[in-house]
Amino acid sequence: MMPYSIGVYEKADGKTYISTMNAALMGRLFGGTARKIMGGPVAKETTAFVNF
C-alpha cells in the first residue's frame, strides 16, 4: 500500500477526476498502530491534498 497511490484521470465528460484509497477505512481493517496512523494523520493529509 505504500507508496500511497493517487489516480488522476479524465472521463468522457471532459472532467478530470482524482481517486485515492480510503486510508481511514483501510486502517480500521488492519487495526492497532495502522488504524491510528492511517485513520488519523494519513487520512487528514490525503484529504487536504486532494481538496487543494
Local structure of residue 19 (DSSP, 8 states):
E
pLDDT for the residue numbered 1: 57
Is residue 32 very low, low, confident or very high in pLDDT (cuts 50, 70, 90)? very high
Written as nine digits, the cell of 5 is 497511490
Q: Across the strands, what pairs with 19?
A: 7
* CB-based contact 4:21 (threshold 8 Å): yes
Our CA angle for 12, 25, 21, nearest 5°, is 35
The residue ranges of every structural domain in the chain are 22-52
What are the tens digits of pLDDT across the range 4-21?
678 899 999 999 998 888
Short-list 24, 25, 7, CA closest to 16? 7
pLDDT for the residue numbered 47: 84
How far, in Å, CA of 17 to CA of 26, rounded? 21
